[in-house]
Structure 1
Amino acid sequence: MSWRKVLFAVILLIGLAALIYQIPAVNNRLGWRIVAAEAYVRGVVNPAGELPPPAVVVTQREEPTSQPTPIPTEIFAGPTPTLAPSPTPLPASVQLASPEYEGQDWNNCGPAALSMYLNFYGWEGNQFDISGEIKPAREDRNVNPEELLFYTRNYAGWLNSTFRVGGNIEMLKGFVAAGIPVIVESVFIFDEPFWLDDDRWAAHYLLLTGYDDASQTFTVQDTFRGPDRTITYDQLNVDWQPFNRVFMLVYPPDQESTVQGILGQHWDEDYNRQAAFETAQAEIEADPENAYAWFNLGSNQVYFEQYAQAAQSYDQARTLGLPQRMLRYQFGPFFAYFHSLRTDELITVTSYALQITPNAEEALLWHGWGLFRQGNEASAIAHFQQAYNNNPLSPDAQYALDFMGASP
């Protein structure tokens, strides 16, 4: 057989494989394997290593001081609900009716968890209805609590929804006892590495539907592991900390007063953030080597627009060491370094984030803003365009392009 015939056969096979790959059922089965293979090759050719520490050495500084007591914002105006002086003790065990289980599609734990949550209240839909509106690309590896909230408020508006940070075990139990499931974001450890020296650390949403004090466990609907799983109170608290102990609530309007009563002063978002700030501060005082506590401190400082202080907190977290995928899920350092004019650090952390997750729209956008700050407008526009192409529904990507007078 001549080399021309061999070459023709190879090209024909490649073309045939490409056509077969376009079949949805085949793409669904093989897509993630191809992306995983790409990640592994990328990790061999250009190992990511660990998240780089800041360029300047972080010296021991004074312990962070508390923020002034914030004034409630207009959106949460109204009388501040408080808990009764002697609240009724919670039942020792509560198990809500488990919603119909929905295993997640690839990179889809957030929409799948929210789908089960909404189905608990009679909503008719599935995870793909949700992901189609907030993450149209299957390869998008992250959905933020804000995006889940956006979907609920715009497409299931007959239900009320909100999220807070700085939660605790008793608060979670209080909601479940009131008949309200809760979504939390927590740590997930992959069974196998995706690249050389992969720490396998990732984020994962869980839907809490029960608890039992005797066994000290929550019942959770885990879109990856299966329905009606259990996790101990202590383990959940540990796995929850890296995400500032964020939790999301969806509930019927007639349960608004119940939610207010359980949240108490945390109903006010500024108060809630202040309390989370103080929790991070206390955890730092108890263990100054706790990188997650420093990261949470920075995230709460970003909320209060204290960007220079937040950047220092993130410096400390990076110096102590953070998981490789941390910046796939949380973007406070991007805000802090940009607004504190530490552009070199912004470029450093976004470059690393893109090495880990090349299609991350948030990292692409903030890397673009760093390049813009450095005067490299052409490269900035290219990054904004890539972010937009990865998620055409992103208002931040559209804003960036409009700001530059560029088209997608």
Structure 2
Amino acid sequence: MNKTKWWLVVGLIILFGGIGMSYLGEPDFQARWLWRWERLRVYAQGILDPVEPPPTPLPQPAIAVTRHPTPTQTDNLPQATQPTPTSTPTPLVLPSAITLPAPRWERQDINNCGPAALAMYLRYYGWEGDQFDIAELVKPQRDDRNVNVDELAYYVRTRAGWLNIEYRVGGDLNLLKRLLAAGFPVMIEESFYFESPFYPNDDLWAAHYNLLTGYDDATETFISQNSYYGANLKVGYADLQRDWQTFNYLYLLVFRPDQAQTIRDLLGEDWDIEANRQKALELAQNESQTDPQNAFAWFNLGTNLVYFERYPEAALAYDQARQIGLPQRMYRYQFGPFLAYFHTGRMDDLMAIVEYALKRTPNSEEALLWRGWAHYRQGRLQEAVADFRAALEQNPTYSDAQYALNFVLGNP
């Protein structure tokens, strides 16, 4: 190790230790100290092993589309069926401003924006829990840095079953306003930027769940209950549109069972999951053509193509996104490229991005899972089993890793 770097790391440890001692008398000392220690650890790692940009695509090999083994049991992709007819939303004259009653605000714990935002959302309907009740199920390890939307939906369906939850992609600002005007808060996933770096060369980008409870056309802002920054914050229409694109315009809706028909009417064709995905695919196709240097437009195109099992096309779309340049933490939150490269036999590309993901997020159960599948395809059975078991250590409820382990051990 370079002596200068070594002494710098030692100095940082002493500095943060002193800061930690200054908080010993505070009630929330443990949370504050753990957060500072995590920042120190990541920053020191960034000094010793500097962060590089995400890898660009390797020279493309011949594509060999595969179907077996099915790498996860939750990636149930659509069959070729006709969408169920749904009513088209009746055009409404929306009020110029809406402010829904804000649920009691809750500051998120470390890496806990999903459970915190969902807790506030459920509280809108009278639920009495908090983010830690949700996190106990969906992220039993406190340092798990990502909670997927399907995990949040699973919590509502199994632990708050007196409420319904649906999530869709390809949303737009007018849809958000329609839902809010009808009395429904909306939870979205979007880009987030840290105020200070976690390591040298940090691009500051991350993901964040946000709860919207109103809008105002006069100021062109939404009202958000942001678990990181505070309650009743104003977010500009243009800013939200830009940051929301990063996650395929994903939105979540929680509602009472007796409100299901109202939600169905508000969503119209988007109620049908197949039709909704097709709409999102067409939107991504359009955005990738009108703004060809937008990496997120290409990434969304790949993600929607993966949904329809169009893996060769998806891989090419992800290639384009990677060539333009993606944020350093992208593979912490989105895993479509893992499926696309696996199903097109591009194990070198798959291995390159999962190794990069694990460098950024060593405890990512999703990256461990897909490195295991890459090892399996390469004939490295022991390494595959080790990765699947490591993924289960990080999240014992991770059914995809348990499925993978059972599959590989049953098919040595």
State the TM-score, normalizing by the size of structure 1: 0.87
Alignment pair present for 1:149 and 2:159: no
SS of the aligned residue for 2:293 comes to coil
State how far apart, in whole Å, the 1-side matches of 2:35 and 2:80 are.
Answer: 45
Alignment pair present for 1:88 and 2:92: yes
Q: Tell me which residue corresponds to 1:166.
A: 170
Q: Tell me which residue corresponds to 2:339.
A: 335
State how far apart, in whole Å, the 2-side matches of 1:155 and 1:72 are.
Answer: 33
- Percent identity reads 51
Alignment pair present for 1:325 and 2:329: yes
Alignment pair present for 1:122 and 2:122: no
Among 125, 134, 137, the residue aligned to 2:138 = 134
What's the CA shift for 1:115?
0.3
1:101-250 equivalence runs, <5 A: 101-250=105-254
Q: Deviations over 1:357-405 (max 9, x none)?
A: 0000000110111111111111111111111111111111211222233
Alignment pair present for 1:367 and 2:371: yes
Q: Deviations over 1:111-163 (max 9, x none)?
A: 00000000000011000000001100110000111111111111111111100
State how far apart, in whole Å, the 2-side matches of 1:30 and 1:402 are.
Answer: 39
Q: Tell me which residue corresponds to 2:262.
A: 258
What's the CA shift for 1:72?
4.2
Q: Tell me which residue corresponds to 1:66.
A: none
State how far apart, in whole Å, the 2-side matches of 1:30 and 1:72 are.
Answer: 54
Amino acid at match of 1:34: W
Unaligned regions of 5+ residues in structure 1, if any? 1-13, 59-68
SS of the aligned residue for 1:183 comes to strand
State how far apart, in whole Å, the 1-side matches of 2:354 and 2:365 are.
Answer: 11
Q: Tell me which residue corresponds to 1:403.
A: 407
Amino acid at match of 1:154: T
State how far apart, in whole Å, the 1-side matches of 2:33 and 2:311 are.
Answer: 43
Alignment pair present for 1:52 and 2:55: yes
Q: Tell me which residue corresponds to 1:43.
A: 46
State how far apart, in whole Å, the 2-side matches of 1:330 and 1:72 are.
Answer: 28
What's the CA shift for 1:33?
2.0
Mean CA deviation greater in 279-288 or 201-210: 279-288
SS of the aligned residue for 2:38 comes to helix
Unaligned regions of 5+ residues in structure 2, if any? 1-16, 62-78
Q: Tell me which residue corresponds to 1:31.
A: 34
SS of the aligned residue for 1:264 comes to helix
Among 270, 273, 276, the residue aligned to 1:272 = 276
State how far apart, in whole Å, the 2-side matches of 1:50 and 1:283 are.
Answer: 24
Report if the CA contact (8 A) 1:81-1:267 is conserved: no
SS of the aligned residue for 2:246 comes to helix
Alignment pair present for 1:358 and 2:362: yes
Amino acid at match of 1:45: L
Q: Tell me which residue corresponds to 1:71.
A: 81
Report if the CA contact (8 A) 1:48-1:352 is conserved: no
State how far apart, in whole Å, the 2-side matches of 1:270 and 1:294 are.
Answer: 20
What's the CA shift for 1:350?
0.2
In angstroms, what is the RMSD of aligned CA positions? Answer: 2.1
SS of the aligned residue for 2:197 comes to coil
State the TM-score, normalizing by the size of structure 2: 0.87
Amino acid at match of 2:93: P
What's the CA shift for 1:293?
0.4
Amino acid at match of 2:235: I
Amino acid at match of 2:214: G
SS of the aligned residue for 1:243 comes to coil
Q: Tell me which residue corresponds to 1:383.
A: 387
SS of the aligned residue for 1:187 comes to strand
Report if the CA contact (8 A) 1:72-1:268 is conserved: no
